[in-house]
């Protein structure tokens, strides 16, 4: 096994998903190649950071609201039980939980942004060349990713990595403005509608969802084929402008 072959199986190797024979071959290569062995250690440290990320529980006010609604729905069921056939009961439970539910995908992206920021080299593929990053995504994971140029706004492209979000492969592009990081995620999905419960805003004729978590601001949207999420401590005006440029660049690529 050479380094190129090892790179293609790095993530399943670290996750313990390779066949026994492939695992043995990859293990031997990682021991003999200092560069690939170092990448394995970085990926394992990163996964350990993810496991240590805190899991936030629902606020006490939300829990109290849900309990009140459940008690109230219980009283309704006692009076008119025939109205709560199983499908209707499931819909009622979903309605009870949705108003205060967090945007799970966006929350996961914030956690990943925080974890990446803590490792020495957050980018798996280091490059300041947009074309090189786009080609890497295509060759590495078959993802058509648009990498925008934010340098006029003082943001420097650092590189990219293949991430995971809700058990899907996701593209992660990293930028830096001074000491502030900007993470741009693309999660391919042909079925999923953006379920964020943040604030819906319009910017330059396009709809977005803004949401804050753990001190980080997010801007997200979907084009029907993928969900996009920008995570940073930058202000919303900067994030929305970055989102607008990414959408415009992606539209030009699709039309060109």
196: left (phi over 0), alpha (psi -120 to 50) or beta: beta
Look at residue 182 and give its three-state secondary structure. strand
The pLDDT confidence band at residue 79, using thresholds 50, 70 and 90, is very low
Query: What's the CA gap between 208 and 239, in Å, rounded?
Result: 11
Mean pLDDT check: name the lowest of 24-38, 72-86, 171-185, 200-214. 72-86
Residue 122's contacts (CB-CB under 8 Å, 6 or more residues apart) are 116, 158, 159, 161, 174, 181
| pLDDT value, residue 97 | 33
Residue 127's contacts (CB-CB under 8 Å, 6 or more residues apart) are 133, 136, 157, 159, 160
**Residue 234 contacts residue 180 (beta carbons within 8 Å):** yes
| pLDDT value, residue 67 | 61
| Closest to 149 measured CA to CA, from 5, 223, 9, 253 | 253
| pLDDT value, residue 2 | 87
Residues paired with residue 176 on neighbouring β-strands, in sequence order: 156, 181
Query: What's the CA gap between 104 and 198, in Å, rounded?
Result: 11
Q: Does 185 or 214 have the greater pLDDT score?
A: 185
| pLDDT value, residue 80 | 40
pLDDT tens digits, 146-175: 999 999 999 999 999 998 887 788 999 999
Which residue matches tokens 């042909």? Answer: 190
Look at residue 184 and give its three-state secondary structure. strand
Average pLDDT, the chain: 78
Q: Does 56 or 14 have the greater pLDDT score?
A: 14
Query: What's the CA gap between 220 and 200, in Å, rounded?
Result: 10
The pLDDT confidence band at residue 50, using thresholds 50, 70 and 90, is low
pTM: 0.63
């Amino acid at each position: 096994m050479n380094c190129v072959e090892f790179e293609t199986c790095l993530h399943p190797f670290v996750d313990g998903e390779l066949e026994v024979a492939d695992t043995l071959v990859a293990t031997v290569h990682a021991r003999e190649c200092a560069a690939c062995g170092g990448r394995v250690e970085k990926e394992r440290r990163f996964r350990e950071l993810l496991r240590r990320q805190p899991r936030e529980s629902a606020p006490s006010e939300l829990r109290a609201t849900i309990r009140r609604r459940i008690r109230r729905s219980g009283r309704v069921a006692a009076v008119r039980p025939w109205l709560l056939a199983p499908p209707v009961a499931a819909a009622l439970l979903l309605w009870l939980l949705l108003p205060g539910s967090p945007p799970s995908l966006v929350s996961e992206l914030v956690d990943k942004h925080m974890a990446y920021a803590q490792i020495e080299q957050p980018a798996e593929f280091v490059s300041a060349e947009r074309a090189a990053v786009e080609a890497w995504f295509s060759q590495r994971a078959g993802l058509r990713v648009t990498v925008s140029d934010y340098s006029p706004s003082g943001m420097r492209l650092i590189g990219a990595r293949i991430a995971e979000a809700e058990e899907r492969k996701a593209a992660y592009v990293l930028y830096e403005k001074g000491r502030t990081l900007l993470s741009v995620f693309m999660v391919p999905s042909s079925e999923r509608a953006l379920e964020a419960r943040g604030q819906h805003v319009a910017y330059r004729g396009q709809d977005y969802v803004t949401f804050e978590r753990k001190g980080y601001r997010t801007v997200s949207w979907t084009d029907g084929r993928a969900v996009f999420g920008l995570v940073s401590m930058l202000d919303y005006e900067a994030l929305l402008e970055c989102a607008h440029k990414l959408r415009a660049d992606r539209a030009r690529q699709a039309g060109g």
